[in-house]
Structure 1
Amino acid sequence: MFTGIVEELGEVTAVETLDDACRFRLRGPVVTDGAKHGDSIAVNGVCLTVVEHEGDEFTADVMAETLERSSLGALGAGSRVNLERPMAVGERLGGHIVQGHVDGTGEILDRKPSDNWEIVTISLPEDLARYVVEKGSITVDGISLTVVDAGPDHFTVSLIPTTLALTTLGLKQPGDRVNLEVDVVAKYVERLLGDRAQAPRRGEEAAR
């Protein structure tokens, strides 16, 4: 589990194409400190498993499905990426509960800078819109953000200078794809309420 608080802006140093996957080599001095085979590291919000670790670099294999369902397929050598290690038990939950399981991708539609922050508008897949609410949480490229406005096919977020300087959202431009993960609590609530609505009321099953 992650928190959506990016630890560092890393870099893809190499991409190896396999039969039905890709192997990424990534540089990140912070997240590789103490890393070992089998550890998890979120890359632009996608939970990946460390295959090898040497110095300040690590490799991770990405399946074809992940490449298709996320923006990782567009990465190449030199691409900058958001990196985060899983939250340790007992640490503060600075962002919100993030699984590292991308629900879909959006596209940056517009950027409006101001003196102290920047408003970014991002497209929203129709099947995810019901999980996004004003002042709720959403993960964009692994960054825990608060939704400013939520529409049927887009949402906006306000980015402070720190986020712009230390994450990929300071680099992305209109037309670029970003990974989206909605609040997992909303999905569980929907499922539970749906099951309750479909379940027969007490005594109804016996009366049938």
Structure 2
Amino acid sequence: MFTGIVQELCEVVGVEDRDGVRRLVVDLGDHADGLQTGASVANNGACLTASEIDGGLVCFDVISETVQLTNLRHVEVGHRVNIERSLKFGDELGGHILSGHVSGTMTVSRIDADGANRTMWFSVDPDHMPYLMWKGWIAVDGASLTISRVDRATNQVAVSLIPETLERTTLGGFEVGSVANLEVDAQTQTIVNTVRETLKDPNMRELLQQG
């Protein structure tokens, strides 16, 4: 589990594609301290398992499903990724609970500047829109953010970004056309799906109509 508070932008120093698996080598620096093989680390919000550790260099093997579902398929040597170690009991929960199971990707459609702040718009898969609401939570490349605008007619949502977020995460390098990982809020998804299934029951619909 994760909180969506990105700890560091870390450089990818190795990429190898072999037998349907993409191996990433990421320089975690001090964030590798105490890390053991088999531990979970979020890379751009995707929960990956540390398979090898050599000082600050950590290897992650990314299966084909994760490669296809996330923007890790676009990562090259020299790129930087958002890194968050898994949540420990007693840690401060500054964002919201994330599983690291990316729902899919979305594309930057517009960026509005207001001084040093940015409002970033994303085009979203229509299947994910029911779970995205004004003032609701969203994870963008693993960063916990609040949805500031929703345009359901065009399947777009926006987040408002302060300079600190732009400096400390991948979002600072985004431009129109950039692809970001999306994780919808699990609680919102559960509630929406439960209501949907309930309304499919004709007996329940009848009870609701009766008031």
TM-score range, shorter chain: over 0.9
Q: How many Å separate the matches in 2 of 1:31 and 1:174? A: 31
* Paired position in structure 1 for 2:81: 81
How many residues are aligned here? 202
Residue deviations 1:46-104 (CA, integer Å, cap 9, x gap): 00000011111100000111111111000010011000011111222100111101111
Deviates further, 109-118 or 171-180: 109-118
* Paired position in structure 2 for 1:192: 194
Is 2:37 the counterpart of 1:25?
no
* Paired position in structure 2 for 1:159: 161
**Aligned-residue offset at 1:111:** 1.3
Structure with the largest fraction of helix: 2
Residue deviations 1:122-165 (CA, integer Å, cap 9, x gap): 11110000000001110000000000001221111111010011
**What is the CA RMSD across the aligned residues, in angstroms?**
1.5
Q: How many Å separate the matches in 2 of 1:130 and 1:151? A: 12
* Paired position in structure 1 for 2:176: 174
Q: Indicate conservation of the 8 Å contact 1:8/1:30, yes or no.
A: no
Secondary structure in structure 1 of the residue aligned to 2:36: coil
How does 1:31-42 map onto structure 2 within 5 Å? 31-42=31-42
* Paired position in structure 1 for 2:135: 135
Secondary structure in structure 1 of the residue aligned to 2:22: strand
Q: Percent identity?
A: 39
Which consecutive unaligned segments of at least 5 residues does structure 2 have? 205-211
Q: How many Å separate the matches in 1 of 2:10 and 2:82? A: 6
Is 2:47 the counterpart of 1:47?
yes
Paired residue type of 1:192? T
Secondary structure in structure 2 of the residue aligned to 1:31: helix
The alignment's TM-score, normalised by the length of structure 2, stands at 0.91
Which consecutive unaligned segments of at least 5 residues does structure 1 have? 203-208
Q: How many Å separate the matches in 2 of 1:5 and 1:86? A: 11
Paired residue type of 2:193? R
